[in-house]
């Protein structure tokens, strides 16, 4: 087994373990730090695939920006202890059934698809080549991702400014 395979398996175990810790932790700060290790492990995966730009972007945007924003938001807006978070499972059986169906469908599509591997040319590996690909061959997925991000921002703003319903007799 070569060094890349060993690094892949070590970081795969780190990613899966920290993701499980993130999901099952009852402390939200511990979950955020486990998310940091998960996102950093994904950045290492990108580096192992020789996608340095995507790896650095993953570290800067997700680990450096989004996670710090999440931690500051939790720490500045939460009153009281972090240990008082109550978690319980709701609709465990239907959600497990749904996840099993979607997972089986994804595995079926992955196994039954004839994947075509195209080698990259030298100009496609550079950042201008990447930008040209995003604006020509991959314009639709790029625009769909942008619209999804816009919708998520609008949804977050609407959730943040939603007014509480007033009780009858109060103004």
Query: CA end-to-end span of the chain, whole Å?
Result: 71
Calculate mean pLDDT across residues 72-93: 66
E strand or H helix that includes residue 156: helix 139-161
85-134 pLDDT, tens digit per residue, is 556 667 788 889 999 999 999 999 999 998 888 776 766 667 777 788 88
Structure tokens belonging to residue 168:
């009858």
Other beta carbons within 10 angstroms of residue 9's beta carbon come to 11
Is residue 82 very low, low, confident or very high in pLDDT (cuts 50, 70, 90)?
A: low
Rounded CA-CA distance 65/69 in Å is 6
Q: State whether residue 171 is helix, strand or coil.
A: coil
> Which one of 7-21, 68-82, 148-162 scores highest in mean pLDDT?
7-21
Contact (CB, 8 A) for 82 and 55: no
Q: Compute the C-alpha angle 156/164/167, nearest 5°.
A: 165
Structure tokens belonging to residue 31:
């979950």
pTM comes to: 0.55
Structure tokens belonging to residue 61:
């945007």
């Amino acid at each position: 087994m070569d060094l890349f395979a060993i690094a892949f398996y070590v970081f795969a175990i780190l990613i899966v373990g920290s993701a499980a810790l993130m999901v099952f932790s009852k402390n939200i700060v511990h979950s955020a730090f486990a998310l940091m290790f998960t996102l950093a492990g994904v950045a290492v995966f990108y580096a192992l695939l020789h996608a340095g730009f995507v790896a650095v972007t993953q570290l800067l945007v997700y680990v450096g920006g989004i996670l710090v924003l999440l931690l500051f938001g939790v720490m500045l807006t939460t009153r009281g202890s972090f240990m008082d978070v109550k978690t319980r499972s709701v609709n465990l059986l239907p959600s497990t059934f749904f996840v099993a169906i979607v997972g089986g469908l994804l595995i079926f599509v992955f196994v039954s698809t004839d994947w075509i591997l195209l080698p990259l040319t030298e100009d496609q590996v550079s950042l201008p080549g990447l930008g040209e690909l995003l604006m020509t061959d991959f314009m639709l997925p790029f625009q769909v991702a942008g619209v999804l991000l816009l919708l998520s921002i609008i949804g977050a703003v609407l959730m943040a400014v939603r007014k509480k319903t007033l009780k009858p007799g109060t103004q």
